[in-house]
Copies of this chain bind each other. A is one copy, B any other.
Amino acid sequence: MKISLLPTLLFTLLISFVSISQNAVQDSVMLKKLYTTALTDGKAYDWLDYLSNEIGGRLSGSYEAELAVIYTEAELKELGLDKVWLQPVMVPKWTRGFKEYAYIESPTGDKTITNICALGGSVPTPNLGIKAEVVEVKGLEELAALGREKLEGKIVFYNRPMQPELIQTFEAYGGCVDQRYSGAAEAAKFGAVGVIVRSLSLRMDDFPHTGAMSYGDTPVNQRIPAAAISTNGAEYLSSLLKLQPNLLFYFKQNCKTFDDVQSYNVIGEITGSTKPNEYMVVGGHLDSWDLADGAHDDGAGCVQSMEVLRLFKKVGYRPNHTIRVVLFMNEENGLRGGKKYAEEAKRKNETHRFALESDAGGFTPRGFTFDTDAANFKKVQSWEGLFKPYLIHYFEKGYGGADIGPLKGNINVLAGLRPDSQRYFDYHHAANDTFDAVNKRELELGAATMASLVYLFDKYGTE
């Protein structure tokens, strides 16, 4: 027995070694194909051009959002996928109305116009606008410490800047976004009449950055209007307040919330050859804010996700699992699309194995974060070498993404593409998030990186 076992064992080892190394060669050839095709014969950039320059900002419930649904559905059909459809979802409809108007009024009556924009979901000001003294705070704690006596009848100016020393800019964003999201609800509790929030950007410029806010359980008649002011504007206002603490701030905004309207997630799929009833999803969100074209946020993620399926067709890769591209509607101010997709997946008892989201801009990809268990993460780590030629080096545990988040608990792996984040908040939710801010190669590298990860999870499966 001893004698006969050894050759068998060696043979088995040899076979498994050969098959491992064959796989490694095959995978490295496939990744090269995916990257080369994306960089030499890609479609993502043209799609983004159309979404940005022919359609533009795609706020949920807007005409442009519906045009984007029609356009991307048609483009997915053009790819010859096995199935393309629209998944109905009711979404909020909030409009900005006429452009906002604001000025700082000195005690002697001099007025300096300043750039603001209403936060998404804000109530309008009264028709004649609001004029009041300003109380600057660095955040919600300082607000609470001041109390009603200091805040009643005032405009609260939240001015805690993002921390530039944090290398990952999303961390700096996370450390400030409470001012934008809950600032109005909290200030209303103390009788403030309006809220001005420093834009969540690390760059000093004149663009106000909008974004979602919530009134929480503030009664409708106590809701106060909230706007963002540019970083330059915030610095200016702050320095002026030191000289003239009793200056006045005036702003007028004309936003309006309508009843929910019908919209759609846009979905396409390549049916799996061996596991057609097991799903892998790649997606971004089709809606954007209205101030610009949403080229980085999240036109980029949409066209990269579409490109993943196009690349598979183009290089002739037939996946084992059913691979779906999902362009989610209403990530920005409601997440209705993400919730609806997960709800329907559950209702239909669809087995979801893997979902990948791209919603951090079309910048040079650096890697991924994974919301998964140790076994799947170990699997990912075994692939790191394959990505090295493409300078993809960042594989960490972490957040998948907002739109795929609702799948959690019913899926093995959630993953988020992590592009270089240094410039992201320069454009995020502001009027300069336009097509020219996206570099073609960086966008394409992101798409190829996503396709590579989907390919590997499709080929080897999840744990």
Contacts and interface: CB of A to CB of B under 8 A. Distances in A.
Interface string A361-394: 0001010000000000000000000000111011
Contacts of A423: 439, 441-442
Contact of A35 (B40, B167, B202, B390): B167
Interface centre among A40, A167, A423 (most CB of B within 10 A): A167
A318 interface: no
Nearest to A168: B391
A314 interface: no
A385 B426 CA distance: 29
Contact of A441 (B202, B364, B366, B441): B202
Contact of A165 (B39, B164, B167, B440): B39
Contacts of A73: none
Contacts of A165: 35-36, 39-40
Contact of A203 (B35, B169, B440): B440
Interface in A415-463: 420, 422-423, 426, 439-442, 445
Nearest to A394: B391
A441 B40 contact: no
Contacts of A394: 391, 393
Given A420-B420, A422-B364, A422-B445, A167 B439 contact: no
B390 A167 contact: yes
A420 B164 contact: no
Interface string A185-208: 000000000000000001100000
Contacts of A390: 167
Contacts of A420: 364, 420
Interface in A129-182: 164-165, 167-169
Nearest to A42: B164
Contact of A442 (B393, B422, B439): B422
Contacts of A393: 393-394
A207 to B, nearest CB: 14
Given A440-B203, A441-B202, A39 B164 contact: yes
A394 B387 CA distance: 13
A40 B202 CA distance: 11
A287 B39 CA distance: 33
Nearest to A389: B167
Contacts of A40: 164-165
A164 B422 contact: no
A40 B166 CA distance: 10
Contact of A426 (B36, B167, B439): B439
Interface centre among A35, A164, A423, A439 (most CB of B within 10 A): A164
Contacts of A36: 165
Nearest to A163: B40
Interface in A217-271: none
Interface centre among A168, A364, A391, A442 (most CB of B within 10 A): A391
A167 B169 CA distance: 25
Contacts of A169: 441
Contacts of A440: 203
Interface in A17-75: 35-36, 39-40
A389 B164 CA distance: 15
Nearest to A423: B439
Contacts of A364: 364, 420, 422
A35 B39 CA distance: 33
Contacts of A389: 167
Contacts of A167: 35, 389-391, 445
A312 to B, nearest CB: 18
A86 to B, nearest CB: 34
Contacts of A439: 422-423, 426
Nearest to A420: B364
A286 to B, nearest CB: 26
Given A167-B390, A364-B420, 11 more contacts: A35-B167, A36-B165, A39-B164, A39-B165, A164-B441, A202-B441, A203-B440, A364-B364, A391-B394, A423-B441, A426-B439
Closest 4 CB pairs of A and B: A393-B393, A36-B165, A39-B164, A422-B441
13 contacts: A35-B165, A35-B167, A36-B165, A39-B165, A40-B165, A164-B441, A167-B389, A203-B440, A364-B422, A366-B391, A393-B394, A422-B442, A422-B445
